[in-house]
Chains A and B, each alone.
Chain A
Amino acid sequence: MNEAEKFRHDRSTYERPNVPFRCGRAVAWGQPCWQGPDARGDCGGQFECSPTHNQDRWECRRPTRAGGPCKQGPLPDGQCCNSRPLCQPRPSLRRLRGRVTLMLLAIAAALIFAFSNPVSTIFPSVAAIDPGPLSNAHAGFIGTDKCESCHVGHTQTGIAWLAQVFEEHDNDAKCLQCHTFDGPSRSAHNRKFPNRQTLPQPECATCHKEHKGAEFDLAAVSSQVCGNCHTQQFNDFSSGHPQFAAQFPYQVPNAIYFDHNAHLQQHFASAGEKAVDAPAVAEFAQRAKRDCTACHEIATATREVTPRPFEQTCGHCHQQQITARSLPLLLADSLTPASALLLGTSDDADDADEQVVALIAAMAEGGLEAFAQPFEQWQLQRGEKMLEGLTSEVLQAAAKAWENEDDYTPPATDIHVSGWHAGTDADENQSIRYEPRGHRDPVLKAWFDVVADLAASHKDAALRDVAKQTLEQLLDSSEGPGACGKCHVAGITSVDSQGLSVPYWGFRGPVERRHTSYAHAPHLNLLGGPEACGTCHIVNPASNYADYFEDPERQPSQFMSNFEPIVKNTCDSCHKPSKVRFDCQLCHTYHRNPSFNVGFQIKRLARNE
C-alpha cells in the first residue's frame, strides 16, 4: 500500500493512547479487530459491523478502513454476518505500569507496617528500623534492653510510638546511665564557664555517632568541631593553633633545687676527679654528663620523665652530705629549734634557759615522758615517729650527767643504730642529737612533716608561728639537719594520705592540665638514643636558675628554668599535613575523667548472667 494511502482520513482513524486496553488478538500477534476494546475493557469486536435498518433492508456498515461494506450483508434478523469469538483485552503498558506502581507501593507499605512496629507480635524484628551495626564498644552492653538502652522513643508502641516524631527526646539521660565524668556531665568539657554563659550545650550524640559499624571509633571527633566554642578558631594544630605559654613547660618552679647547668658543666666533671676511689661514682658522673637517662627514667616515662630515686642518682655524690648534718634535739645549755618547738617556745625566748633546766630535770626524772606532753597537746599521731629510737635510758643518763654539769659520755654499746646520739658533737657541745642515716631518713622526715603541718594548720596561732620559724630553720639550705634544705625547696606543701600538710618532697612536674596530655614514649621511640632529649629540651647556659631559690621573697613567676621553653615550632615540624597526626584529639581531651557508674556495672553483670 502506498504510504499516502495509509494516511487517508477514511483509512486511518485517531489513535487513542489514553485507552488503557489493547485488543487481545493484538497481544497474540493475530489480526486485531478494527473496533478495539471499549472504555470498560470489554472486547468491542465481536461483530464486524452494527447493521442499520434502511427502509426495508439491513445494510452493512463496516467502515472503509476495515474494508468497506461486506458483500454478503447482514443476516435477515439484522445481525452482522461476520462474528468472531470475544477476545480478552489486555491492559496497555501504561496501565500495567500503573498497576505495578500501586502494587509496589502496597508491598512497601505492607512491609513497613509489618516490620516496623518494634514490639510487633507477628514479626518481632527490628530489621525494618535497623540503621546499622553498633560499635563493638556498645554492642556487648545493651543487654536485654537493646534499643531502649539509648533511644527514648523506643519505649512506646503503636500510635504513641509514631507520636514520638513530635516530641523532644533527651537521649543524653540514657548515655549518662552508664557514663560518668568528673564534673557536670552535660556541660562542655564537663565544666562550668561562668564568663561564657552563651556557650552551646552539646549533646552526646553531637560528637559521638553510633550505628556506623562494629569497628567505628566512637571517640574520634573532627578537629573543626572544637572551634565552635573556642573563641580562637583554627582548623587544626598546624594552622592557627596559638603559641605555647611563655615558659612552657617550665612554669612551675622546681620542688628540688637542681641546677642542670651547674651540674652538667661543673659538678659532673669534677665529681670524677673527687671520687678516685669510687669508680661507680665516676662512671655515673661521666654518664650523667652526656646522657639525660642517667638520671631520668624513660622506661616509665609518660607526661614527665621522672628522675630515678635518690640512691640511683644524686646519692652517688650527695649521700655523705646528708649524714654529715645532724638534728640537734637538745643542747646541754640551750634550746634548739627542735626542742623549742616541743616546748612551745622559741629558742631565743627570755626564759629559755629556765626551760632548758626544767626540761633536763624532767628528762632526768621521766625520760621520754618529758616529751609526751607536747604530743598529746598537738594531738598528732605521728609525733611518736619524731623520737623513734630514742630511749628513756639515754635521755635519763644524759640528763643526769648534765644536771651535774658533767659531760655525758655514751656507753660503748651502740645507740648509734637508732641514730640518736647523746654526748659531744662535732662542735664540742654536749647534745642529744639525731644523725640521719641516709636520704629519706624517717625520723628526720617525721620532724619535717609534723612541723610543716603545725605551721600550716594548727589552730593555736602562737604555735603556728613557732612551727613556721622552726621549719625555716630546719629547711635552711646551709645549716638544716640532713642537708634536706640544700635540695628540697622550702615553702611548698602537699597533703599526704592522712590529711597532713607536709612539705612537698618529690619531683614536681609541670602544671597539671586536665585536658592536655603528652606522652614521651612514642617520641623517644621515634627519635631514639640519649641525644633525643635535647631535641626539645634545650639547655639554656645563660639562665639564672639560682636567683629564684636564693630570694626569700620569691614569686613563682620569677622562676627561670635551666631550659629553653618548648615552642610550637618544635612540635609542628612533624605534626602537620603529610607527616603525622595533627588533630586536636591527639593532645587534648574533651571530657574530664570519663568513667562508668553503677548502672554500667549492673549491665555488665546482667550480660554475664
Chain B
Amino acid sequence: MRGHTTALGNLLRDRTQWVIYLIGASIVAIAYAAIAIPAWHRAATLGDPREITGYSMLGIMLFLAAFNLRKRIPMLPLIRTRWWTFAHICGGILALAVFWLHIERIWPNGTYEQCLAALFYLTSLSGLFGLLVQRLQPSRLTQTGLEVIFERIPNEIARLRNEAETLAVECTRKTRHATLARYFVESLQWYFGAPRFVASYIRGSQTAKFWLEQRFATVRRYLNDDEQQYLLQLEALAEEKSAIDAHYAGQLLLRSWLLVHVPCVAAVLALALWHAILVHIYAV
C-alpha cells in the first residue's frame, strides 16, 4: 500500500504531525510577537528594548533548561514528556529569534559577548542537529532488521566473536584444512574485534557490506565444499555483526550529540547570568 517508506516520508505523510508542526509554528510566532512588540514599543518611547528582550531570553533559556529537570522527576504527574519536547523545540527556535532581536545583529562585538554568543550558537546548532538525528536515525536502526540494547552490544560482539572463532577452529578440525582459519586470523578477526566502520554507518554508506563481500569473495576459491559451509555460517555471523555495528553507530550518534548540547547549556546559563549582572552594573 505504501511501498518503500523512509522516516522523512513517514513524517511528511502523517497529517497529525503536520498539525503539530503548524501549532508549533503558531506558538513560536505568537510568543515572538509577544516579546517583539513590547520591545519595539519600548524602543520607540525612549526606552531600552534590550532589557525586555534580554530578560525574555533568560526566561526562555531557563524554561529550556527546565526540560532536564522535568526528566529527573518522572514520578510526578507533570505534563507528558512528549509535550515538553514539543515546547522545548518551540522554545529553542524562539530563543534563536529573540537572540537576534536582542543583539540586533548576527554576531556581537565585545570579547565577552562573543563568548556568550558562540556558546549559545553551539547549543542551538547542536540542538538542531539532535533534532535532525532523532528524526532520521531511528528508522535506520529499525531497518537493520534487528534490535539490540546499547549496553548489551559488547555482549553481542563478544558472542559473535566467540562463535566465529569457534567456527574457524571447528572447520580446521573437521576438514583438516587450515585455510579458512588462517584467512580468518589474517583478515576477519579484526572485523570481529570491535564495532567497525562506525563512521561509515553514520554517514549512511555501505562500506562494511562491500568490504565483507570483498573479503569473502577473495577466499572462496580456495575452499572445498565442506569449508564453504563453514564460510556460509561465517558470512551469516558477519552480517549479523554488521547489523549490530549499524546499531552501535546509530545509537552512539543518538547519545553523543547530547554530550555537546547539555554541557554548553550549563556554560551558557552561567555566562548569561553574569552578563545580566554586568549589564546592570554598567548600562544606564
A225 CB within 8 Å of chain B: yes
Q: How far is the CA of A315 from the CA of B47 in the complex (A)?
A: 59
Q: Which of B1-54 contact A (CB under 8 A)?
A: 43-48
Assess whether A30 is in contact with B281, with CB atoms less than 8 Å apart. Answer: no
With most chain A CB atoms within 10 A of its CB, the pick from B48, B111, B259 is B111
Query: Closest residue of chain B to A16, judged by CB?
Result: B151
Cβ proximity bits A152-183 to B, threshold 8 Å, 1 near / 0 not: 01100000011011100101000000000000
B274 CB within 8 Å of chain A: yes
Chain A hits for B274, CB < 8 A:
112, 116
A131 CB within 8 Å of chain B: yes
Determine how close the nearest CB of chain A comes to the CB of B271; give it in whole angstroms. 6
Assess whether A162 is in contact with B281, with CB atoms less than 8 Å apart. Answer: yes
Chain B hits for A169, CB < 8 A:
284
Q: How far is the CA of A104 from the CA of B159 in the complex (A)?
A: 39
Q: How far is the CA of A23 from the CA of B152 in the complex (A)?
A: 11
B155 CB within 8 Å of chain A: yes
Option from B48, B151, B282, B284 in Cβ contact (under 8 Å) with A129: B282
Q: Using known A-B contacts A108-B271, A112-B271, A132-B108, determine if residue A171 contacts B158 with beta carbons closer than 8 Å.
A: no
Assess whether A162 is in contact with B277, with CB atoms less than 8 Å apart. Answer: yes
Assess whether A165 is in contact with B259, with CB atoms less than 8 Å apart. Answer: no
The interface-forming segment of A78-86, A206-214, A500-508 is: A206-214
Q: Using known A-B contacts A22-B151, A109-B270, A213-B109, determine if residue A202 contacts B46 with beta carbons closer than 8 Å.
A: yes
Q: How far is the CA of A112 from the CA of B112 in the complex (A)?
A: 10
Assess whether A29 is in contact with B262, with CB atoms less than 8 Å apart. Answer: no
Q: How far is the CA of A6 from the CA of B48 in the complex (A)?
A: 64
Determine how close the nearest CB of chain B comes to the CB of A597; give it in whole angstroms. 21
Q: How far is the CA of A213 from the CA of B282 in the complex (A)?
A: 17
Cβ proximity bits B149-163 to A, threshold 8 Å, 1 near / 0 not: 101101101100010
Option from A29, A93, A211 in Cβ contact (under 8 Å) with B259: A93
Task: State the majority secondary structure of interface residues on B.
Answer: helix
A interface, size bucket? 35 or more
Chain A hits for B109, CB < 8 A:
131-133, 211-213
Determine how close the nearest CB of chain B comes to the CB of A16; give it in whole angstroms. 9
Cβ proximity bits B242-284 to A, threshold 8 Å, 1 near / 0 not: 0000000000000110110011111100110010011011111
Q: How far is the CA of A104 from the CA of B112 in the complex (A)?
A: 16
Cβ proximity bits A208-226 to B, threshold 8 Å, 1 near / 0 not: 0001110000000000110
The interface-forming segment of A94-102, A252-260, A354-362, A410-418 is: A94-102
B113 CB within 8 Å of chain A: yes
Assess whether A17 is in contact with B151, with CB atoms less than 8 Å apart. Answer: yes
Interface size on B, residues (CB 8 A): 43
Cβ proximity bits A15-59 to B, threshold 8 Å, 1 near / 0 not: 101000011011101111000000000000000000000000000
Query: Closest residue of chain B to A26, judged by CB?
Result: B154
Chain A hits for B262, CB < 8 A:
97, 100-101
B110 CB within 8 Å of chain A: yes
A127 CB within 8 Å of chain B: yes
Assess whether A104 is in contact with B280, with CB atoms less than 8 Å apart. Answer: no
A227 CB within 8 Å of chain B: yes
Determine how close the nearest CB of chain B comes to the CB of A488; give it in whole angstroms. 48
Chain B hits for A96, CB < 8 A:
259
Assess whether A130 is in contact with B112, with CB atoms less than 8 Å apart. Answer: yes
Assess whether A228 is in contact with B46, with CB atoms less than 8 Å apart. Answer: yes
Assess whether B280 is in contact with A165, with CB atoms less than 8 Å apart. Answer: yes
Q: How far is the CA of A23 from the CA of B155 in the complex (A)?
A: 11
Cβ proximity bits A124-143 to B, threshold 8 Å, 1 near / 0 not: 00011111110000000000
Q: How far is the CA of A137 from the CA of B259 in the complex (A)?
A: 45
Q: Using known A-B contacts A100-B259, A211-B109, determine if residue A228 contacts B44 with beta carbons closer than 8 Å.
A: yes
B194 CB within 8 Å of chain A: yes
Chain A hits for B204, CB < 8 A:
none
Determine how close the nearest CB of chain B comes to the CB of A202; give it in whole angstroms. 5
Assess whether A30 is in contact with B154, with CB atoms less than 8 Å apart. Answer: yes
Cβ proximity bits A101-125 to B, threshold 8 Å, 1 near / 0 not: 1111101110010001000000000
Query: Closest residue of chain A to B50, judged by CB?
Result: A209
Query: Closest residue of chain B to A103, judged by CB?
Result: B263
B138 CB within 8 Å of chain A: no
Assess whether A153 is in contact with B46, with CB atoms less than 8 Å apart. Answer: no
Assess whether B112 is in contact with A203, with CB atoms less than 8 Å apart. Answer: no
Assess whether B112 is in contact with A154, with CB atoms less than 8 Å apart. Answer: no
Subset of 22 A-B contacts with CB under 8 Å: A17-B151, A25-B154, A27-B154, A31-B162, A96-B259, A100-B262, A102-B266, A108-B271, A116-B274, A127-B111, A127-B112, A131-B109, A131-B112, A147-B282, A151-B282, A154-B282, A162-B277, A164-B281, A205-B284, A224-B44, A225-B46, A228-B44
Given pairs A104-B266, A153-B282, 5 additional interface contacts (CB within 8 A):
A17-B151, A116-B274, A128-B112, A133-B109, A133-B110
Residue ranges of A at the interface with B (Cβ–Cβ < 8 Å) = 15, 17, 22-23, 25-27, 29-32, 93, 96-97, 100-105, 107-109, 112, 116, 127-133, 147, 151, 153-154, 161-162, 164-166, 169, 171, 200, 202-203, 205-207, 211-213, 224-225, 227-228
By Cβ-Cβ distance, the 8 closest A-B pairs, closest first, are A132-B109, A132-B110, A26-B154, A31-B158, A131-B110, A29-B194, A153-B281, A165-B280
